[in-house]
Amino acid sequence: MAFATRPASCLALRAVLCVVVCLGVLLGGCASGPAQRPGGDSAAMTASTPSPAGRLTPSQAQDVTLYAMTLVGTPYRYGGNTPEGGFDCSGLIGHVYQTHTGVVPPRTTTKLQFWGQSVAQEQVRMGDLVVFLNGGSTATHAGIYVGSQRFVHAPSTGGVVRLDSLTAKHWSSQTWVVRRP
């Protein structure tokens, strides 16, 4: 029985995530509707047309964070952008933001590196993007910051969407920037 062999810390994390998700669902009825696009048109935007960034409310950032955490365990798939088909890192970000805010991020990490507002690492907050750079200049990976130095991301082929710490050995040795949608 695989469940019984999991470490207590893993079980505790899953229990905390379940409580957070349940609270988000219960409080979701209090959330406001989707943000209006400039000009008052609230029609959905297509994935091929990235939205201007910088319009997320704190409530939307919380919705993004909670929903991203519910996708932990979804299989990685290169080019994937749905829970049913799997995700790559930019597909995960696009799906989460478009589903819960109506904001359409760019589809590649290279474009995500320049999308939104640049924010100092010390000012990172829930719902921000963490974009990892190869050699300090080219984006190679991205995830959604969920608080407490943790982020949700779709890491690589054969993996699953997961919650990782920016202070873990691998990630703390990487150069990363913060982008605020």
Q: Are 162 and 74 within 8 A, CB to CB?
A: no
Does 86 have pLDDT greater than 60?
Answer: yes
| 97-144 pLDDT, tens digit each | 999 999 999 999 999 999 999 999 999 999 999 999 998 689 999 999
Rounded to whole angstroms, what are the CA distances from 163 to 103, 127, 136?
23, 14, 23
Catalytic residue among 22, 30, 89, 95: 89
Quick one: pLDDT at residue 135? 81
Query: How is residue 160 written in tokens?
Result: 């699953």
Phi then psi for 22, rounded to 5 degrees?
-60, -45
Q: Which domains does the chain carry?
A: 55-180 (3.90.1720.10)
Q: Is 141 a catalytic residue?
A: yes
- 18, 30, 153, 170: the catalytic one is 153
- Tens digit of pLDDT for each residue in 2-45? 444 444 444 444 444 444 443 333 333 323 233 333 333 333 33
For residue 54, the model assigns a pLDDT of 60
Residue in 10, 22, 141, 170 annotated catalytic: 141
Res 56: pLDDT: 82
Q: Residues 143-172: pLDDT tens digits?
A: 999 999 999 999 999 999 999 999 999 999
Per the CB < 8 A criterion, the answer to whether 167 and 100 are in contact is no
Known catalytic residue: 100? no
Indicate the pTM of the whole model. Answer: 0.73
Active site residue 89: yes
- What residues does 165 pair with on adjacent strands? 150
Q: Hunting for tokens 């207590």 — which residue is that?
A: 8
